[in-house]
Amino acid sequence: MEQFTGKVWLLGDDIDTDIIMPTEYLALKTVNDMRPYAFSPLRPELAAQIAPGDIIVAGKNFGCGSSREQAPEVIKALGIRCVIAGSYARIFFRNAINNGLLLIENADLAADVKEGDEITVRVGEAILYKGREYPISPLPQNLLDILEAGGLVKAMQRLNGIGVSSPENTASCTACSDGYGSKGGA
């Protein structure tokens, strides 16, 4: 069982993807270029204050709105260890898991926790805060595998032996000489 502790950033209900990653910054080249603008419509200073390993705690319906993948990507790029919310928009939940961002549902924590406090998460078991345990449901193993790999693409690469250092894979990779990933001509 994985356990970690992090500083809390407290947000409210209905934090939509336009708040997480505003539309006007989607044209930037990389998610790292977008990081300074995360949450800017709500709290312009927040992205600069977040440190790796911090935890977002929010109310219900986190990630509602559009299905833009940049929303969970930018949260992960900020170094957020996990998001704990009362509930999530379904498409945001799936996009987050696919990008390797841990999401935990708990309806009670947001009402009790204070911004800046530290909480401890025992993945699949409980959140610990000021002597109280907030139970959480475990995620199915297939989702844990995706998270552990760092996202869906990395999980599928691992499953298919792509990018894994082994003599067989190294030989097949060096055999690709056409620049397109195939072993023959175009």
Distances from the Cα of 102 to the Cα of 21, 51, 86, 97, angstroms: 18, 16, 14, 6
* 68 φ/ψ angles, rounded to the nearest 5 degrees: -60, 130
Q: How far apart are CA 92 and CA 173, in angstroms?
A: 34
pLDDT in tens, the chain (186 residues): 589 999 999 999 999 999 999 999 999 999 999 999 999 999 999 999 999 999 999 999 999 998 899 999 999 999 999 999 999 999 999 999 999 999 999 999 999 999 999 999 999 999 999 999 999 999 999 999 999 999 999 999 998 988 765 444 433 333 233 333 333 333
Domains of the chain, by residue range, sit at: 3-139, 151-186
Contact 50/77 with Cβ under 8 angstroms?
Answer: no
Topology of the domain covering 3-139: Aconitase; domain 4 (3.20.19)
